[in-house]
Structure 1
Amino acid sequence: MKFKTKLITLVVAFLAAISFALPSQVNAAKGDIGVDWAVYQGANGKYGTNNKFAIIQAGGTQGGTLYDQWTYASQVKAAQANGLKTHTYLWYGVGGSADIGRQALDYFLPKILTPKGSIVALDYEDGASSSMAANTDAILYGMRRIAQAGYTPMYYSYKPYTLAHVDYQRILAEFPNSLWIAAYPDYQIRALPDYGVFPSMPGIALYQFTSMHAAGGLDGNVDLTGITDSGYNGSTTTDSGKTYVKPSTNTPATNAGQQANNTTLSQIKVGDSVKVNFGTTRWANGVAMPSWVQGKTYTVQQVSGSNVLLGGIMSWINRSNVELLTTTSVPSVSSGSTYTVQSGDSWWSIAYKYGMSMYTLAANNGKTISSVIYPGDVLRVSGASYSSHTYYTARSGDSFWSIANKYGISMYTLAANNGKSIYSLIYPGEDLYIR
């Protein structure tokens, strides 16, 4: 969610802001920091530090034109797997038309993938009509429908737009503490809210305090009342620091997220999506990791011992330094199972399909990953002989020649088996496939 006009900076004393925003009741989520995601955050979302919740766009309507957000389901799964309480929002460009609101809610309410009781917010920041009463009627219609469906309704916008187009007091009279209001002090990266520019008005439950919660842009929000507990029965944190949320009800998306959440790091396999933990500073080989990798999501391309290879940047990282977001199902294979190569296939794409290393797949068929495969070739994809393969972890001073000599193979074969040439660099801690 982004502003359409420049915000008017409001200088408000910190204590005055708190007196408007924070009720006396203490909730578990009060003070938690979270994010909201749309298509710009990709299939698995984007993270700031120490996030506890995510509010995810399912789609919306603009003057009666409905659209789905293709990232909604996968982002819900990823957030659940990462231990975040997940909620939903809709772009609500209905102007002053309750009828357009009806069409939107008829379409989207059956598609909500977050648990019953969770937030479903209406994003109303563009396209208002000239009638404040009609605009407010359309918003209240949508919020009533959300409440009737068993979710927690909220209204999102920013203060100047709300004051100009909406009678928010009518909203609060029917839905107390249901406002989600944005106000940014600047466009610098911010981890925590600056209450000096808090949009002082009653009934604010969520405060969106920045659009730069992380480099490259990410909305950051603070829960002022504990409203993000809605739809959840608490959470459990393990000794290792992993958090498991407990949705009040399940949906296909939250079920999938919980499956990933319950999968241990030792079970990570090729094809799974993982997020690099904040605070990770080194790759598996000890080389310093750039800070921009932290919080990013990658697909696992290979697994070797305690390390996983991150697709796209082709770097190895210890599995203890990642969080599993989505886990793939592996086709059932039995001894002697085969796969017929199709046009466009590669060693990697076939191995991904069966949860294998591409090096293992190639070796099981008497080839290397440098070997060409053709449509119609029949490859063995059985897992029967996986355990017979040998890997070596490079040490300081090693070379392709010294490692190849140790195992009685050609250094050219060793390099090719690992997608390299003998002129490629190898680093201490790097796992190499031997045979």
Structure 2
Amino acid sequence: MAALFLGMNANAARMDMVDVSNNNGYMSTAEYTSMRNEFGVKAVTVKISEGSTYKDPYAASNIANVQAAGLYINGYHFARYTTKAQAIAEADFAGQTAKAAGLPVGAVLATDVESQEANNRSKATNDRNNAAFMQEIQKFGYRADIYTSGSWANNKMTIKGKTGWIAAYPYVVSGKNWYSTNHAWQWSSTAKFRISYGGFDVSQLNDNYYTAGQKSTVKPTNKGAVKTNNQKANKNVSKPAASAKWVKEKKTYTLKTAVKLHTSTSTSSNTIAILPAGTTVKTDQAIIKGGYRWVRQPRFNGYGYLATGPASNTLEYVKSGATHTYYTVVSGDSWWEIAQRNGLNVYTLASQNGKTIYSMIHPGNKLLIK
């Protein structure tokens, strides 16, 4: 799912729901029990499928272990559809895959709409396709919802009040409850849990939509630990400067990976072009803004702006003249498997490609290995 840099107030949001996929690897019942008892997690939403062919290999074990830990269970499908017919076909594929993996009737099976395919479609087309998917998925006994980013909600598609699971990772939140009229707000992709490895996507639930239709009477056993551990986990704060200012930075870089060139210093601004890996970029200024480090590229008719990474990171570029080795992603690959095969740390692999281990990778993608 989509990830931005997060700087959070320690009391900003609750860890009501965690979402996991093959990128998290095998998750045991003990890990889910720890999330429930020590952090107050109520629900887990697991990846089920993607497009019309990919089945998450960990879906069945995640579903079984989440239920064994006494948590509510839901699923999501990463959408690739561009037409109504494709949306219905993907819903049938997701529903059948969910049934086979053991997702219980009454659970939510959300459509995760954030792909480039959807970005290239009109709002009306996305609305039609999403409606078709959600109507079809209900035929399998699942409840429907849409997951998307805050910048896409009611821009790329319609998300009505009292519906939707919205991802938005603000630079600083001062106790504000974002997207309080929607079912859920995903506010971090880097939350930590005591006995689990790596960072996790976590969401605050604003109603009981993701904890309904299933029987679960298990509650956290240590309220003091829940409060303390949530505060610690949310404490990955990077305090912003009093005011952002442009600084001179005349440099020449060669892109490691494809990067969007925006019309302004906002990830929701229009895209001028997608610059492919290997493109030479000359910059004249840089700024920290909106949780990102941006550089400005002078162009013949003005400027283009590139987000180089989270505000806490250095440039996600490499200097011109460097030689590199790339790996082409094939079906079934995960960050972990690629890192293992090439003797790399999984976080290093993702970082040097300008991504996190929770970013989606797809067959045909080229990843920098060295």
> Under a length normalisation based on structure 1, what TM-score does the superposition of the two structures give?
0.42
Name the larger-Rg structure: 1
Q: Relative contact order: is structure 1 or structure 2 higher (C-alpha 8 Å, sep ≥ 6)?
A: 2
> Under a length normalisation based on structure 2, what TM-score does the superposition of the two structures give?
0.49
